[in-house]
Amino acid sequence: MRLIETAGGFDLTLAGRTILRHRQDEPCLYVGHGDPRVEMHHGHFDIEDQIVERLGLRHASIDRQDGATRIDLSQAAGLDPLASLILTGSDKGGAIRLEAHDPALNRLWLRVVAEKAEHVWGGGEQLSYFDMRGRRFPLWTSEPGVGRDKSSFLTFQADQRSNSGGDYYKTNYPQPTYLSSRRYALHIDTTAYSAFDFRKDGFHELEVWAAPATVELWADDSFTGLVTALSDRFGRQPPLPDWVLKGAIIGLKDGDESFTRLEKYADAGAALSGLWCEDWVGLRITSFGNRLFWDWKWNQARYSDLDARIGQLHARGIRFLGYVNPYLCVDGSLYPEAAAAGYLALKRDSDEVYTVDFGEFDCGVVDFTNPAAAEWFADKVIGRNMLDFGLSGWMADFGEYLPTDVRLHDGTDGMLAHNAWPVLWAEVNARALASRGKTGEALFFMRAGYSGVQRHCPLLWAGDQSVDFSRHDGIGTVITAALSSGLLGNAYHHSDIGGYTSLFGNVRTPELLMRWAEMAAFTPVMRSHEGNRPRENVQIDEDARVLAHFAYMTRLYVHMAPYLRALSDEAAATGLPVQRPLFLHFPDDPRTYTQQESYLYGADLLVAPVIQPGVDRWTTWLPAGTDWVEVWTGATHQGGQDVTVAAPLGRPPLFFRRGSDWTALFQGITTVASTV
Amino acid sequence: MRLIETAGGFDLTLAGRTILRHRQDEPCLYVGHGDPRVEMHHGHFDIEDQIVERLGLRHASIDRQDGATRIDLSQAAGLDPLASLILTGSDKGGAIRLEAHDPALNRLWLRVVAEKAEHVWGGGEQLSYFDMRGRRFPLWTSEPGVGRDKSSFLTFQADQRSNSGGDYYKTNYPQPTYLSSRRYALHIDTTAYSAFDFRKDGFHELEVWAAPATVELWADDSFTGLVTALSDRFGRQPPLPDWVLKGAIIGLKDGDESFTRLEKYADAGAALSGLWCEDWVGLRITSFGNRLFWDWKWNQARYSDLDARIGQLHARGIRFLGYVNPYLCVDGSLYPEAAAAGYLALKRDSDEVYTVDFGEFDCGVVDFTNPAAAEWFADKVIGRNMLDFGLSGWMADFGEYLPTDVRLHDGTDGMLAHNAWPVLWAEVNARALASRGKTGEALFFMRAGYSGVQRHCPLLWAGDQSVDFSRHDGIGTVITAALSSGLLGNAYHHSDIGGYTSLFGNVRTPELLMRWAEMAAFTPVMRSHEGNRPRENVQIDEDARVLAHFAYMTRLYVHMAPYLRALSDEAAATGLPVQRPLFLHFPDDPRTYTQQESYLYGADLLVAPVIQPGVDRWTTWLPAGTDWVEVWTGATHQGGQDVTVAAPLGRPPLFFRRGSDWTALFQGITTVASTV
């Protein structure tokens, strides 16, 4: 980084890009004090800040030393500095440590230079907007909401019933990191509540609710270089297990009947890699639907002979997967054990266990800041009850619900622990795998995340979409989620085929299930889900046409396995995600910067899933710089144009680069036996 | 006022009440800079402020001089003061002028000492909450909204259709003035956007978007004394015209047919004082419903022989009333005249007339900052076309729609002119009356207002309620409106009997019409309205039962006329409103402080209108300190309790003070011939 002093200020540049511009009348840093109101209701947070004081630090005093430059900032010359910037690093990358000198200062607002035409991506796993320019994004892990669109009646109903409608920026996995089209990446090392405000033409304003915080920066002429740098920073996933590539993981939660129903999939010609039964722990009936019994072990009443049946499945090359989350229901067997050992988070002002209402049942929160509790959960709960029992994977659900008024073992304030929690939760799961030597062999998948989850979690899933085509909570949000999280070093992403949340009479259509399966065949993992209300929603195995279509898609997925294996190897080497935004490989085509409905599957295949109902044609942008071959027709299209293609059910729009090394495989897609 | 210096600060007291408490660590004043976004859509404003800087002024330097004390405030000792407080006045009342010393400072936040158990009332004409404690109230004249309750489906539909759902604080008539239960009143002399934040236990934070501003204060041991002080400050209305007391004003907008239909009211035995035909100017058809043709003169196509018929009515003791507002439709006859004379507000960056979209038609805004334009509108439009033509009154509609990006004749910025506009509009109407010697004889009524509207507008109406019993936009809001505005010196208030806004299938019921008429009989003016969609909503004269009930209520109104005349005389003398909150006369009963569903009609009659559907009993609080006689049964109840009484249609719950000088009149209510 380079610091250039000017009259009354300075410019900070990174490989020629101006990052900070500080002038007396336009200071780069404001500090202050906020008085927030934070309320949680079933993982939905209502957060409102009153800014008590916000001070522009206009006067800069620069002290250059070996290896680090220190800039003291005060409101005016002659006044004590209220904050300092400490600069370290090279021109390819560096860090700005923001220090405040008064403990009452609990807000930082840093203004980073922006250009009017700039685009920015990242923010963790974003569901509504891939290009974040023009909007403000609070970054706080939470339920994303049902509908997530204040103009939709579904959202209105969710808001009125339970304040759960959500909004465009709400996500299970936020992360204060972005890539800029100016070819740099920025990350704030903090677990505090933060917000990225990309609404202004001339600057991005980055808000952090705690000091100190460190702003990390990377510059690279290529976007792929930036992604690799971020993956290096946050950690690499192991490659996908081989067994996953053999077919779809079928989600059923029908007790013993799940095994019977699995055979319908096999009989229909579906390629199968796993049976996933989240109800392996038993059920609890609530008004939201059937919920699981949050006591993490085999429930023999719901699954008889499960131990033996897992072995039988395994012998056929089909794995069994289960479910776990970081909470323990008060009426389960593990809760008293954990409570007695002091493994649960406590209330702030008493020694009582803090219980969280999850909707008609209460749970304790395993306190992962207590090393003994984390070890117990990894070894005794996941290790013994799940891995040793024979599970090859699980959904590691939740992580977003840490209340801010808990008392934790290591003394961390809830406001700082909340965003850190998904990473602690991922770490416990990863430790369980490692304890049994199963890293890269067994697989868990998470929806919650935060900076660093990459290092521990081998697979993201896009959370609980509504069972529809809606703009902010339907099938299309899965693509935005994969692209945004992928840029930050999460190489593997997938989603619930058919979506999850069915409320207020909103139910799945066969068309939605089929469109979702078409998309999932071109993602790292194909996995179905029955949704929150299986009986009210059509299931794949209940509709012959849907089942046949699904089976065909699993065969397409298996056909793609050699390519996917190569992408997995590439991810392990470079951190590049399997699903990639178009601009990653076509940086010179500015039209690619705002595309969020299509993606590159590796470098050579462009996938443009149909994410609208009732259409049989689909229009998509083909990036400039190469010719594209339409898989189903073999037609060649020049890049740099919108093309419209036939897209009946069973034929997801697919285009490969002319001359790709994988041409034979891509052309072979049309030879896979179709049952559509 | 008394200023008491303390270590590092001061207390400012008013007759023993601490108003300001300034300490180094808790400054009483913050100043700063905001960057607002202001968007208007059909009178609905979307206003969002970004606080760029907010500085606590911790250091006070006091300079006592003859007659005025000056307090210079800076961020710290040794720094230049950024603002000053200039104190003047006595211990009964005084003023704090807030001056900022840097033109970039466009935000002031003053913290006034609060007590935890304190109540506050005022804020102009509030529709949702009479006691404002616990909430924040932006003060900006606008459409109040349809539904005004984000949890209602009606509001949701209005918001989705046209961003017009509104919210609890939105009102046609805001005013930065409040009374406190600590027996003082506070007013901020500004026309800037402001907000009163009453959410904190220890202080009220008053926000003003411009400097300078003057905080005016009054202390009095009695609440009535405070109301009189405010009425003295803002101006007194003339007494009600005698003709008004003779019966109801019937709102019909049916062209010539209105005269025919009026006879149905007379035939049913209704006491009539006026016929109000807002369509006297002709109609325009829009999707909202029939709108008026905004060109202010008799439309002969819709009302043949109107000049003659006005005279005939007058001879029967029935006046004719019309309608006017401060806009001129571009396709009318007055618009070109005004445009040619330069009487219309212009666009900011050109000499073109600024036109406002009122929903499928555009209008110019008469620029009342131009004395010639104001005089023209008062003399030539209202004076000649309305008063000289024979009108005895009119609805002086609107006043809230001044865009903030207009260019005005006197150079006032739109952000400062916007709130001032209703008062300028009232002044033009009052000037028209005065020009014809009709002050106190002809009557106009307004919904819009701001500080000082009291001086010019003889009668408020509560705006455009929805035609329902809903909490935030229905019949009950009219009481809150009367009580809040009444405390600030608006002695006369009334409403559209039956409400106005019928949208999205929400229509009037006969019950609503009857309950509304029961309430209106005990307000200064009884006036009916056909609503925005007369054909889709039941009308009084279309339902024999409703008509008979209405006629009975008009007779009750006339029965009360001697009492109302006395209240009108009292208002002229003291500024006390006709409709009063219970606490005004029962300050020692704290339960009265939060009552907003009942009111005192003068000092001696308590009215508790039924404002819920489907009930025939009603519960209300009777203030402690006297006995109360229930009008309909003669039963005596001790004050200081909730009583539940029979409340069938036709019998609004009424209680008078035992021993009242008006006992005979109150008892006589039961002798009025009932047709219910």
* A428 and A413 in a common domain: yes
* A249 and A194 in a common domain: no
**What residues of B are in contact with residue A156 (Cβ under 8 Å)?**
153, 156
Which tens digits make up the pLDDT trace of A416-448? 999 999 999 999 999 999 999 999 999 999 999
* A175 and A44 in a common domain: yes
Instruction: Please judge whether A32 and B54 are an interchain contact, meaning their C-beta atoms are less than 8 angstroms apart.
Output: yes
Asked if A170 contacts A158 with a C-beta cutoff of 8 angstroms, the reply is no
Q: Which of A400, A468, A541, A589 is catalytic?
A: A400
Q: What residue type is assigned to position B573 of the chain?
A: A
Q: Write out the two tokens for A620.
A: 């998509």
Chain A residue with minimum CA distance to B136? A50
Instruction: Please judge whether B54 and A56 are an interchain contact, meaning their C-beta atoms are less than 8 angstroms apart.
Output: no
Task: Determine, yes or no, domain membership for A676.
Answer: no
Tell me how close the Cα of B156 comes to any Cα of chain A, in angstroms: 8
**CB-based contact, B64 to chain A, within 8 Å:** no
Which tens digits make up the pLDDT trace of A591-632? 999 999 999 999 999 999 999 999 999 999 999 999 999 999
Q: Which of A30, A54, A55, A200 to mutate to test the interface with B (most CBs of B within 10 A)?
A: A54
Task: Determine, yes or no, domain membership for B353.
Answer: no
Task: Determine, yes or no, domain membership for A20.
Answer: yes
Instruction: Please judge whether A53 and B55 are an interchain contact, meaning their C-beta atoms are less than 8 angstroms apart.
Output: yes
User: Is B91 one of the annotated active-site residues of the chain?
Assistant: no
Instruction: Please judge whether A54 and B75 are an interchain contact, meaning their C-beta atoms are less than 8 angstroms apart.
Output: no
* B573 and B548 in a common domain: yes
Q: Which residue has the higher pLDDT, B162 or A384?
A: A384
Tell me how close the Cα of B460 comes to any Cα of chain A, in angstroms: 35
Predicted local confidence at residue A285, as pLDDT: 87
Which tens digits make up the pLDDT trace of A274-301? 999 999 999 998 887 789 999 999 999 9
* Partner residue facing A156 (CB), from B32, B75, B156: B156
* Strand stretches in B168-279, DSSP E: 174-180, 184-189, 194-197, 203-208, 213-219, 248-251, 272-276
Under-70 pLDDT residues of chain B: none
Residue where a domain stops, chosen among A233, A252, A283: A233
* B439 and B296 in a common domain: yes
Q: Which of A28, A31, A55 to mutate to test the interface with B (most CBs of B within 10 A)?
A: A55
* B383 and B291 in a common domain: yes
* Apex B221 CA angle, B218 and B227, nearest 5: 55
**What residues of B are in contact with residue A51 (Cβ under 8 Å)?**
51, 54
A positions 140-179 inside 8 Å of B (CB):
151, 153, 156, 160
Phi, then psi, of B622 in degrees rounded to 5:
-105, 120
Tell me how close the Cα of A160 comes to any Cα of chain B, in angstroms: 6
Predicted local confidence at residue B234, as pLDDT: 98
Instruction: Please judge whether B54 and A76 are an interchain contact, meaning their C-beta atoms are less than 8 angstroms apart.
Output: no
**What residues of A are in contact with residue B52 (Cβ under 8 Å)?**
30, 54, 56
Tell me how close the Cα of A603 comes to any Cα of chain B, in angstroms: 42
Task: Determine, yes or no, domain membership for B614.
Answer: yes
Q: Which of A99, A125, A279, A397 is catalytic?
A: A397
Task: Determine, yes or no, domain membership for B313.
Answer: yes
* B657 and B537 in a common domain: no
**What residues of A are in contact with residue B54 (Cβ under 8 Å)?**
32, 51-55
Q: Can you give the CATH number for the domain in which B638 is found? A: 2.60.40.1180
Instruction: Please judge whether A52 and B54 are an interchain contact, meaning their C-beta atoms are less than 8 angstroms apart.
Output: yes
Residues 6+ apart with CB under 8 A from B380: none
Which tens digits make up the pLDDT trace of A542-588? 999 999 999 999 999 999 999 999 999 999 999 999 999 999 999 99
Predicted local confidence at residue A621, as pLDDT: 98
Predicted local confidence at residue A287, as pLDDT: 80
* Partner residue facing B51 (CB), from A51, A75, A151: A51
**CB-based contact, B77 to chain A, within 8 Å:** no
Q: Is the pTM of this model over 0.90?
A: yes
* Partner residue facing B55 (CB), from A55, A79, A151: A55
* A555 and A435 in a common domain: yes
Instruction: Please judge whether B52 and A55 are an interchain contact, meaning their C-beta atoms are less than 8 angstroms apart.
Output: no
User: Is B197 one of the annotated active-site residues of the chain?
Assistant: no
Average of per-residue pLDDT across A308-314: 98
Mean pLDDT of chain A: 97
pLDDT of A134 above 90:
yes
Residue B205 belongs to what domain range? Answer: 2-234
Predicted local confidence at residue A91, as pLDDT: 83
Residue that the structure tokens 């001070």 belong to:
A55
Chain B residue with minimum CA distance to A57? B53
Task: Determine, yes or no, domain membership for A601.
Answer: yes
d(CA B548, CA A2): 86
Distance of CA B632 to the CA centre of its chain: 31
Q: Which of A293, A421, A299 is nearest to A366 (CA)?
A: A421
pLDDT of A122 above 90:
yes
Which tens digits make up the pLDDT trace of A625-654? 999 999 999 999 999 999 999 999 999 999
Q: Rg of chain B over CA atoms, in angstroms?
A: 25
Task: Determine, yes or no, domain membership for A74.
Answer: yes
**CB-based contact, B88 to chain A, within 8 Å:** no
Q: In Å, how far are A14, B329, B466, B468 from B505, measured between CA atoms?
A: 61, 29, 11, 11
* Partner residue facing A54 (CB), from B53, B76, B153: B53
Q: What residue type is assigned to position B469 of the chain?
A: F
Run of H or E including A336: helix A334-341
Bridge partner list, A642: A621
Q: Is the peptide bond before A590 cis (omega within 30 degrees of 0)?
A: no
Tell me how close the Cα of B422 comes to any Cα of chain A, in angstroms: 31
Size of interface A-B (CB pairs under 8 A): 32
**What residues of A are in contact with residue B79 (Cβ under 8 Å)?**
76, 79
Which tens digits make up the pLDDT trace of A136-168? 999 999 999 999 999 999 999 999 998 999 999
Residue A311 — pLDDT band, cuts 50, 70, 90? Answer: very high
Q: What is the DSSP string of B1-69?
A: -EEEEETTEEEEEETTEEEEEEBTTB-SEEEEEEEEEEEEETTEEEEEEEEEEEEE--EEEEEE-SS-E
* B272 and B227 in a common domain: no
ipTM summary value: 0.92
Run of H or E including A314: helix A306-315
pLDDT of A65 above 90:
no
Q: Which of A464, A468, A589, A604 is catalytic?
A: A464
**Torsional class of A300: left (φ above 0), alpha (ψ -120 to 50), beta (otherwise):** alpha
If one counts the domains in chain B, the total is 3
Residue where a domain stops, chosen among A233, A266, A287: A233
**What residues of B are in contact with residue A54 (Cβ under 8 Å)?**
32, 51-55
* A549 and A642 in a common domain: no
Chain A residue with minimum CA distance to B77? A79
**CB-based contact, B104 to chain A, within 8 Å:** no
Chain A residue with minimum CA distance to B159? A151
Predicted local confidence at residue B290, as pLDDT: 81
d(CA B70, CA B72): 6
3-class SS of residue A669: helix
Chain B residue with minimum CA distance to A155? B156
Tell me how close the Cα of A133 comes to any Cα of chain B, in angstroms: 17
If one counts every other C-beta atom within 10 angstroms of the C-beta of residue A64, the result is: 12
**CB-based contact, B524 to chain A, within 8 Å:** no
Task: Determine, yes or no, domain membership for A399.
Answer: yes
**CB-based contact, A79 to chain B, within 8 Å:** yes
* B569 and B447 in a common domain: yes
Asked if A303 contacts A320 with a C-beta cutoff of 8 angstroms, the reply is no
d(CA A302, CA A308): 14
Q: Can you give the CATH number for the domain in which A65 is found? A: 2.60.40.1760
* A613 and A516 in a common domain: no
Instruction: Please judge whether A53 and B51 are an interchain contact, meaning their C-beta atoms are less than 8 angstroms apart.
Output: no
User: Is A367 one of the annotated active-site residues of the chain?
Assistant: no
Run of H or E including A346: strand A346-347
Instruction: Please judge whether A153 and B151 are an interchain contact, meaning their C-beta atoms are less than 8 angstroms apart.
Output: no
Residue where a domain stops, chosen among B559, B577, B595: B577
